[in-house]
Amino acid sequence: MAFESLTQKLNDIFKKLRGKGKLSEADVKQAMKEVRLALLEADVNFKVVKDLISKITERAIGQEVMESLTPAQQVIKIVNEELTSLMGSTQSKVDFSKEITIIMLVGLQGSGKTTTAGKLGKLLSKNGKKPLLVAADIYRPAAITQLKIVGEKVGLPVFTMGQQDPVDISKASVDYAKKHNHDVVIIDTAGRLHVDDDLMNELVNISHAVDPSEILLVVDSMTGQDAVNVAEEFNNRLQLTGLILTKLDGDSRGGAALSVKAVTGCPIKYVGMGEKLDDLEIFHPERMASRILGMGDVLTLIEKATADFDLKKAQELEDKLKTQSFDLNDFKDQLSQVKKMGSLDQILNMIPGFSQQKLKGVEIDDKELSRVEAIINSMTLEERSNPSIINGSRRKRIAAGSGTAIQDVNRLLKQYAQTKKMIKQFAGSDKSRKRSKQKL
């Protein structure tokens, strides 16, 4: 999970600091020594760590902190601010000023370029754009097929011209986009295992031919400082406008995310948070710093909720809760709404304080959600709307149909009964509150 080990180490350090009450200069220095080690272990660039620690220390042993009533809190606030500034301070937006926004995606093979082309297309089309995906990786025939599959999954057209010259393909794709009213062109360029001259020349030629608004380097964050080195090499040749860090979901250390902006000057614009085509997020330095410090990211969570939640469904649910007609169909609807927002792990990680709690061994099981859905899917409509008719033989049939055990079915029915009871109590207390208000 993203930043898991770094977050845990930082939290341990700050916990000790909080336990101290008033802080001496030596306390702060000791804590900073530990923060420095934690960052180095997270594979953050050595020079970046050095600069960061000296900035934090200078601010933290200032009067403001030492004399404050909550010095530890102040130190954490400073760390938060400096981490944010390290990653670029504010969100770095994509330039959509031209009539057609051409985005070249570049990067090494396996970095996640093709997947990211699909994710980015999907994200932009959710925001009202009309993207065209372009297959310009002609060296691996499988790459073209892969992009076509991705395009189909996200419902976007893919422009291909087989193995022709990538510069010609890119130019032709822009003409095609103009004719077919696309306002974004996402070019999936060729990748290599290592940076080489042929690849760079080809990318430079494409960029001269189409004059892209954005040249975004896709890098695998799990490769830590290697990702930073790759970014430097690409940037020297191509003048990148930004980076997309992929596989952050599997990067427990976070070294690339924390150093790449400081080392290359290129801002991170998006981050890949999973293999699914929905798992691309706009990068917000302040929110990322908050996540690294285990403070959650409520803003992204709210955005996900409002983007993915079906308001009509939410209203229907509210009505059902009021009339207490909440049945197993609603139970299932609710589950699928939550699932749309991402894996439980991802969601919970954005809740403040959760990462610390999770590390204490709370098990989060996405499989359980799928099991519950399978069980409800195996019920008849009548059973779903009137679960009290589900007797022993029905339970047996449902378990067999969903590939689960009778105990699983029993557990689900119990959970449903408890939820319903809770709703009843809630609705009841709501009514009595209203009554007592009227009395007053």
Q: Please give the residue ranges that form the binding site for ligand GDP (CB under 6 A).
A: 107, 109-115, 191, 246-247, 249-250, 272-275, 279
User: Please, which residue, 27 or 281, has the CB nearer to ligand GDP?
Assistant: 281
Binding-site residues for GTP: 107-114, 188-192, 246-249
Q: Tell the smallest beta-carbon distance from residue 13 to ligand GDP (Å).
A: 28
Q: Tell the smallest beta-carbon distance from residue 267 to ligand GDP (Å).
A: 18
User: Please, which residue, 131 or 272, has the CB nearer to ligand GDP?
Assistant: 272
| CA–CA dist 294, 276 (Å, integer) | 24
User: Please, which residue, 279 or 383, has the CB nearer to ligand GDP?
Assistant: 279
Pairing of strands 280-282, 268-272: antiparallel
Instruction: Report the candidate in 285, 245, 254, 227 with the shortest Cα–Cα distance to residue 10.
Output: 254
Q: Tell the smallest beta-carbon distance from residue 108 to ligand GDP (Å).
A: 7
Q: Tell the smallest beta-carbon distance from residue 220 to ligand GDP (Å).
A: 8
User: Please, which residue, 112 or 254, has the CB nearer to ligand GDP?
Assistant: 112
Q: Which residues contact residue 182 at a Cβ distance below 8 angstroms, ignoring those fewer than 6 apart?
A: 100, 130, 131, 132, 157, 176
User: Please, which residue, 1 or 61, has the CB nearer to ligand GDP?
Assistant: 1
| CA–CA dist 229, 263 (Å, integer) | 9
| CA–CA dist 48, 127 (Å, integer) | 35
Q: What is the 3-state secondary structure of 65-88?
A: HHCCCCHHHHHHHHHHHHHHHHCC
Q: Tell the smallest beta-carbon distance from residue 143 to ligand GDP (Å).
A: 7
User: Please, which residue, 272 or 296, has the CB nearer to ligand GDP?
Assistant: 272
Residue type, 366: D
Conformational region of residue 390, where left means phi above 0, alpha means psi within -120 to 50, and beta covers everything else: beta
| CA–CA dist 297, 281 (Å, integer) | 12
Tell me the β-bridge partners of 105: 188, 216
Asked if residues 249 and 2 have their Cβ atoms less than 8 Å apart, the reply is yes
Q: Tell the smallest beta-carbon distance from residue 423 to ligand GDP (Å).
A: 37
